[in-house]
Chains A and B, each alone.
Chain A
């Protein structure tokens, strides 16, 4: 009996340690963010705003491809092992009297604290230009 009484705390402690160390299963979360139509503005304005918005929420925004593709991507700050758990894309495309811009976001939860939808909301706000 003494053996059981003494060992129970050990088992409980081991369980607690294990529970603290066990990572929850991570899942990918992808969100179709806002689409904005901005009139009477050049697409170059979209590109500048896209880069700024991405850099304000994530980091190292870069335009994909060569030339003015209007396709922007950025990743979240990497963790200690060099992995990022968040990323987003901003697409700018010229239309007759302005441009259309879309936001697409992906996060891995956990560890990322934000949902992909929340991340896209932050990006759209940082981009500005109204709804």
Chain B
């Protein structure tokens, strides 16, 4: 009995680790674009600032001056799927005796961001002083959570048929948490369900995706 329990524990840990490791994203890297500089023989620093804010706002959000009157502008782009900022740019104006000089520097985090830093900087610069603007790929949206009694996943809340107080909430990533906060994992191959929850259990999903039974467990999905 002890050996069986130990085996179940090892299987639980191994299964959990397998799911977690599969979910680790590819290593990310910073991509920095430097080198676009524009010298305007006329125009005021104020004019540069206004154009900087407009150019940044065309592609990013929250354009702001790093300190009031500095002529140095920064903006960022939120990536809904990554749940983080993955693009940003600065436009820095400096007044000359006649006109001004302005530099464009952009950074993105790859591979999360759907376009590179050079593409972003070129568009911001062209918006500032004129030129062809190439459309940037849209930020990826979060993967929608499936609804209903899907037969290809276990996402949703499951209620134990013999203990209505016991519920399991399963997410899209193969994680599962019961009503007391104890977590485990689920897997589904065809109609065979593998639950790693106080050991590993094999159940069968019904053809309507609403029930799973086996190994002494019986659950019904709320859907």
Given contacts A18-B20, A21-B20, contact A87 B13 (CB under 8 A): no
Given contacts A3-B198, A3-B199, A35-B72, contact A14 B94 (CB under 8 A): no
What residues of B have a CB within 8 angstroms of the CB of A108 in the complex? 28-30, 109
* Contact across chains for B30 and A10 when beta carbons are under 8 A apart: no
Interface stretch among B32-40, B42-50, B133-141? B32-40
Contact count band on A: 35 or more
**Which A55-77 residues have C-beta < 8 A from chain B?**
64-65, 69, 71-73, 75-76
**Which A6-29 residues have C-beta < 8 A from chain B?**
6-11, 13-15, 17-18, 21-23, 25-29
Given contacts A28-B84, A30-B88, A71-B35, contact A83 B103 (CB under 8 A): no
* Contact across chains for A28 and B109 when beta carbons are under 8 A apart: yes
* Contact across chains for A7 and B32 when beta carbons are under 8 A apart: no
Give the nearest-CB partner of A81 in chain B: B27
A106 at the binding interface (Cβ < 8 Å): yes
Partner of A89, one of B21, B34, B70, B113: B34
B85 at the binding interface (Cβ < 8 Å): yes
What residues of B have a CB within 8 angstroms of the CB of A95 in the complex? 96
What residues of B have a CB within 8 angstroms of the CB of A104 in the complex? 34, 90, 92, 105
Given contacts A35-B94, A81-B27, contact A10 B107 (CB under 8 A): no
Q: How far is the CA of A102 from the CA of B113 in the complex (A)?
A: 26
Give how many B residues have a beta carbon under 8 Å from the other chain's beta carbons.
59
Partner of A73, one of B10, B32, B70, B72: B32
Q: How far is the CA of A47 from the CA of B178 in the complex (A)?
A: 61
B86 at the binding interface (Cβ < 8 Å): yes
Q: How far is the CA of A22 from the CA of B89 in the complex (A)?
A: 29
A84 at the binding interface (Cβ < 8 Å): yes
* Contact across chains for B199 and A106 when beta carbons are under 8 A apart: no
What residues of B have a CB within 8 angstroms of the CB of A10 in the complex? 8-10, 12-13, 198-199
* Contact across chains for A7 and B9 when beta carbons are under 8 A apart: yes
* Contact across chains for A75 and B30 when beta carbons are under 8 A apart: yes
Q: How far is the CA of A107 from the CA of B2 in the complex (A)?
A: 50
| Interface 1/0 per residue, B53-75 and A, CB below 8 Å | 00000000000001000101010
* Contact across chains for B109 and A35 when beta carbons are under 8 A apart: no
Q: With A17-B20, A87-B32, A95-B96 given, can you name 18 additional A-B contacts, CB distance below 8 Å?
A: A7-B8, A7-B198, A10-B9, A11-B183, A26-B28, A26-B84, A28-B76, A28-B88, A30-B74, A32-B66, A32-B72, A32-B74, A71-B35, A71-B103, A85-B29, A93-B94, A104-B92, A106-B88
A-to-B contact residues, CB < 8 Å: 2-4, 6-11, 13-15, 17-18, 21-23, 25-30, 32, 35, 64-65, 69, 71-73, 75-76, 79, 81, 83-89, 91, 93, 95-96, 100, 102, 104, 106-108
Q: List 22 A-B contacts (CB under 8 A).
A: A3-B5, A3-B199, A10-B9, A11-B197, A17-B17, A21-B21, A23-B24, A25-B82, A25-B83, A26-B109, A27-B82, A30-B76, A30-B107, A32-B72, A32-B92, A64-B35, A69-B37, A85-B28, A85-B30, A91-B103, A93-B94, A106-B30
